[in-house]
Amino acid sequence: MEADKIMIGETYRCTSPLLKGNFMAKVEKMYDLSALVEVDSFEVNDADKVEDLNGRLVVPFYCIDKI
pLDDT band at 58 (very low <50, low <70, confident <90, very high): very high
The predicted-structure confidence for 8-54, as pLDDT tens digits, reads as follows: 999 999 999 999 999 999 999 999 999 999 999 999 999 999 999 99
pTM for the whole structure: 0.91
Per-residue model confidence (pLDDT) at position 44: 95
Bridging pattern class, strands 64-65 and 56-60: unpaired
Phi, psi of 13, deg, nearest 5? -90, 130
Domain limits at 32?
3-65
Domains identified in the chain, total number: 1
Per-residue model confidence (pLDDT) at position 53: 97
Per-residue model confidence (pLDDT) at position 59: 97
User: In Å, how far are 1, 42 from 13, measured between CA atoms?
Assistant: 11, 10
Per-residue model confidence (pLDDT) at position 60: 97
